[in-house]
Chains A and B, each alone.
Chain A
Amino acid sequence: MKLSMEEVEHVALLARLALSEEEKERFGAQLSSILEYADRINQLDTTRVDPTYHVLPLQNVSRLDERGATLAPDDVFQNAPDRDGSYFRVPRIL
């Protein structure tokens, strides 16, 4: 399955990636080959196989509703590009 240029651009937009024309060609081809591989797997008959929702043989892992430690304010903003008092500051989006 070959991805169209529009599909490549749509996926790049969803991932917030700005791609050059050359990158669109290169990644488009790589994505297409991944999808071709998925198509091949899709040809297998799985009618008698239960869907795998999780790869680990675990279920019902839960925690009690009990409070734990929170981050100290200095740690909260350690990686923040910008802050305003006790808030993160980000470019305006409407």
Chain B
Amino acid sequence: MAGYNDRYEVVIGLEVHVELHTRTKAFCSCPNEFGSEPNTNVCPVCMGLPGVLPVINRTVLEYALRAGLALNCEIASFSKFDRKNYYYPDLPKNYQISQYDLPLCRNGYLDVAVDGGERPGARRIGITRVHMEEDAGKLMHGEAGTDYSLVDVNRCGVPLLEIVSEPDLRTPEEARAYLEKLKAILEYIDISDCKMEEGSLRCDANISVRPVGSTVLNPKSEVKNMNSFRAVQHALAGEAERLSAILAEGGQFLLETRGWDEASGLTVQMRIKEEASDYRYFPDPDLVPLVIGPELIDRVRSELPELPAAKQQRFMANYGLPAYDAGVLTGSRALADFYEACVAAYHDQKVVSNWVMGEFLKLLKAHNLEVAASRLTPSHLVAMLKLIDQGTISGKIAKTIFEEMFLSGGRPEEIVKARGLVQISDEGELGAVVRQVLEDHPGVAEDYRNGKEKALTFLVGQVMKATRGQANPQLVNRLIKERV
């Protein structure tokens, strides 16, 4: 397929909705819980019964301020809630409480580098606004052919932040990197579970294409229904191709909403926007304005944890790590904490970084686990590294032990013992194996005598094979060289 990126520039803006993990809902005291029995976490306020009075949850405001400050936004000194009016069965009161012209946070930014990390290549992506609003309920359609839908209003009133980026993103990869960085920050400041598969982090994208060098904004497609980082990247790549083809053929763009279909790998038209939606926003008379003073902002700012960019810099300075390592390790707060717990008890920070970035991330990915869900502990990893240093196990055997620690949560010493994986460093025992290998491969031994370095590698390999990887490699090398 011809690359659209040669002739055309892609313009992407993302709109992210994130559910806040408060104890209760935004405007009533119902539990904010995922997965409860349908229609049990409800009260007259979130069901939209007449005559009720919503009151903003203080923690929602606090979380929104955390997000705004972490995303380098200006915080409004005066903010208010508005009603966004529309009819849909998942919205019992026929309006969503949101923020329209006076959002809590504006004009922020996020520095994003496509390959992770905070390098000179990082680009600054503008954040237009961050505002508070409430979620709607869940609608389940009956089987095909039926004429009804089922409604669960448990999610009605769950607090959301809407985080809108400027149309500053230029590639699907960059959009994904922005989203990953945003998720990391939201996790660091501990305001959301950020689980795309459970819907606590949702992403819609606006995308258009134009010839390179042009500054016009062509009509955009709005892409919805992307349930993973991978889906966001693939859906945008597919849509960029589709729009580029239209542009190349001189076709007409439609202002349309398209859904990502994971199975086909294509976006599918959902509806054409003929006119701007008529939401008739107006100030919600049930909720009084918010006046945000500098004391509150200073307090929330002072309580922010160390954020990924600062942590990355500190990892580079304190542990002598390359920017790449520091970027990967600080990619999630849990991973960074794991790493720091290890280096607090072990001297070689780069060795720890190699194990955490290599084996640990590989296994987490293979088993689709979060750091917190793995059974490996920092103290077990450190104990294993010390076993390598003491010569008890080889680096090769360590990989096997690492995987078992990861899966079973066992201590490395016990695994070594139970599976008989202790490294053989006994000269007499290894000497016998070396003698046997040399006898079995006289030709190769001759090659080595004649200066063929590769022959040594083969002979060492044979000894390792005969000892099931348990031979001490340094000792094997020495013994072979002595005896050839």
Enumerate chain A interface residues (CB-CB to B < 8 A).
10, 14, 16, 53-56, 58-71, 73, 76-77, 79, 82, 84-94
Contacts and interface: CB of A to CB of B under 8 A. Distances in A.
Contact of B58 (A63, A77, A87): A63
Nearest to B147: A92
A16 B288 contact: no
Nearest to B92: A88
Contacts of B87: 16
Interface stretch (B138-146, B328-336, B371-379, B452-460): B138-146
A62 B278 contact: no
A65 to B, nearest CB: 4
Interface stretch (B26-34, B163-171, B354-362): B26-34
Interface stretch (B8-16, B42-50, B394-402, B462-470): B42-50
Given A61-B288, A86-B38, 14 more contacts: A58-B288, A59-B289, A59-B290, A64-B58, A64-B59, A65-B60, A66-B29, A68-B24, A73-B39, A76-B42, A79-B49, A88-B151, A92-B142, A93-B149
A45 B465 CA distance: 93
Interface residues of B, number: 50
Given A14-B278, A59-B288, A63-B56, A89 B148 contact: yes
B23 interface: yes
Contacts of A59: 288-291
A56 B288 contact: yes
Interface in B386-414: none
A76 B55 CA distance: 21
Given A69-B43, A70-B43, A92 B149 contact: yes
A25 B56 CA distance: 42
A67 B61 CA distance: 17
B379 to A, nearest CB: 35
Given A54-B80, A67-B29, A92 B47 contact: no
**Across the A-B interface, the 8 shortest Cβ-Cβ residue pairs:** A68-B29, A87-B150, A65-B59, A88-B151, A58-B288, A62-B58, A86-B38, A90-B89
B43 A61 contact: no
Contacts of A94: 141
B57 interface: yes
B285 interface: yes
Contacts of A66: 23-24, 29
A19 to B, nearest CB: 16
Contact of A61 (B56, B85, B147): B56
A60 B150 contact: no
Contacts of B148: 82, 84, 89-92
Nearest to A85: B38
B291 A86 contact: no
A53 B149 contact: no
Contacts of A56: 288
A62 B29 CA distance: 12
Contact of B47 (A65, A76, A89): A76
